[in-house]
Structures are given as structure tokens and as C-alpha cells.
A and B are shown apart, each in its own frame.
Chain A
């Protein structure tokens, strides 16, 4: 009895690990599109993580980054730098509603890259950033 109660969760956990966190379809579709346009390397979560924390332009006297609104800890809520509104966690594991709509991902990458870096992101950057966010 005791053994069973231990084994069952372990089994379940392993079963889940194998199938856990498949990329949302929206992400696979978008990454396939980005991969076609001038990307040289396979998308990397490691590069994405660096871009996520990379210094951007100066806004109102402060250097801004993606973390300026989304926060340092992806599993926690963030806060919009201008209005103060709470932004739900970005980590896919903490917020399964994330990265499920193509239109939404494209719209916010366009807005936020301009806001943070003063320019649109390249296809490579977008692919790397999303690879990182989905892996979290």
C-alpha cells in the first residue's frame, strides 16, 4: 500500500515529463515562418535568454529591457513600466495561455521590440526569444 502510493506519483510524473510542454501550435507555425527568412542558425533558448536581458534603448532616463515590464522572474507577474498594470507571468509552464495565438505573438513582438530596442526584431531574434520563453 505504502509502496503503491509512492510509485504511482513517480510513474505519473515520468509519464508527464515525456509528453510535457509540447510547443503550442502557434509557436511551431511562427518559427517555421521565421526559419525561412534569413535565419542562419537553429533557434536557441540560450541566445533567447541573453536577448531577454540585453540592454535596450534609454527611456525616461532608464535603460530598458524585456524584463522592465515582464520582471526578472518569468514565473512571476510583471508590471507595465508606464501604467503600473500587472502583467501575467510569461513562463509557459506558469501560464499555459501564453503563446497560443499567432496574431497576439506577432503583435506584441512588433510593439515590444520597438519599445525596448528602438527597432523591430529580426526573424532570428524572434525565434530565439520565443524558444527561450516556451522552454521556461
Chain B
């Protein structure tokens, strides 16, 4: 009897902790007590995000930048000059997209790589590029330029899906990397 009560209480706590984690900043405690310690990055599932933010480049998972970065990238009229491109959206679409980004941003995520991205950004920094964050920079620091910039099929490190074959599942694990024209054995 005491056992079942205990389990019920525990289940209650855990059950409630999940929605809470997305409501605001995830506490370290939430992360520790959650059973489901996700290893990678939360995959993108939102149809609007996939359509509107996946046309010119892969639809980046919001869990790769903090909420304050998305706020800035998606501020009204910021998309009119988006890395030199016009990616303007109507207000309704923009609001939907922004809400999705903020709810799934790295600082609101329990996924492991999102935590690592966060840990590599100082509180006074608001990176506008995923490729500028220390974590992502570090992970790619040993790849020779000729495999990226001078590789016709890649062109830029921002083109994640050129090399990460399972990015649509949120998976970046080095086992899933195939550099075009180089393959898996890029280190040799």
C-alpha cells in the first residue's frame, strides 16, 4: 500500500515535470529526474517551420540556439534582411513560427546536445548562427576547408544536411555523417 502510494506520487511528479519543462527554463533537477534523457536534438515536426524555414536551407532544429537568438532572428522585419536574403513572412505565419522556436529552443530543451550548445554560450552572447556557437565550431574544427568551402556539394558549414544524413531525426552522431565526395573516412 505504501509502495503504490509512493509510486503514484513519483509518477505524478514526473508526469507534471514534462509539461513544465516546456513552459519555461528547464531546471537541472527536471533534467535529472526525467526518465527520458534524450541524447540528440529534438527533431523538427512543425509543418509550418519545415515549409517556411526549410526552403533555402535545411529546417534547423530550434534546439540548436537559445530562445534569445530566435527572438532576434525572428523579430518583426528581421527576416527582410536575413543573412542578405529576403525571407519575409506575413504576421500570422511569423507568430506561429516564433512560438514554435521559443518553445523548442535550446534553453527549453531536455535534449543532451541542446544542453551542450547552451553550455558553450556565455549568458551575454546572442549568437545568430548555429555555426558560430562554440560547441558546433569545436565539433567541426578538424574538418579541412577543402571538404566544406571548396566542396561543390557542400559550400558552407551551414548546409548541415549535406553531411548529416539523419538530421531530420535530430541525429548528428558522427556515425551518421557522410561528407559528399569524401565519405565516412574523412580523417584519413
Contact = CB atoms under 8 A, between A and B. Distances in A.
Contact of A82 (B56, B58, B153, B154): B56
B155 A84 contact: yes
Contact of A111 (B88, B159, B162): B88
Contacts of A114: 86
A19 interface: no
A114 B88 CA distance: 12
Contacts of A34: none
B86 A83 contact: no
B165 interface: no
Contacts of B88: 111
22 contacts: A80-B56, A80-B57, A82-B56, A82-B84, A83-B56, A83-B57, A83-B156, A83-B159, A84-B153, A84-B154, A84-B155, A84-B156, A84-B159, A85-B56, A85-B58, A85-B159, A111-B86, A111-B87, A111-B88, A114-B86, A115-B85, A115-B86
Nearest to B86: A111
A115 B56 CA distance: 13
Nearest to A104: B51
Contacts of B57: 80, 83, 85
Interface residues of B, number: 17
Interface string A94-136: 0000000000000000010011000000000000000000000
Given A85-B58, A111-B88, 14 more contacts: A80-B56, A80-B57, A82-B56, A82-B83, A82-B85, A83-B56, A83-B57, A83-B155, A83-B158, A84-B156, A84-B162, A85-B57, A111-B87, A115-B86
Contacts of A80: 56-57
A68 B181 CA distance: 23
Contacts of A115: 85-86
Contacts of A85: 56-58, 159, 161
A132 B96 CA distance: 34
A24 B86 CA distance: 27
Interface string B137-181: 000000000000000011110110110000000000000000000
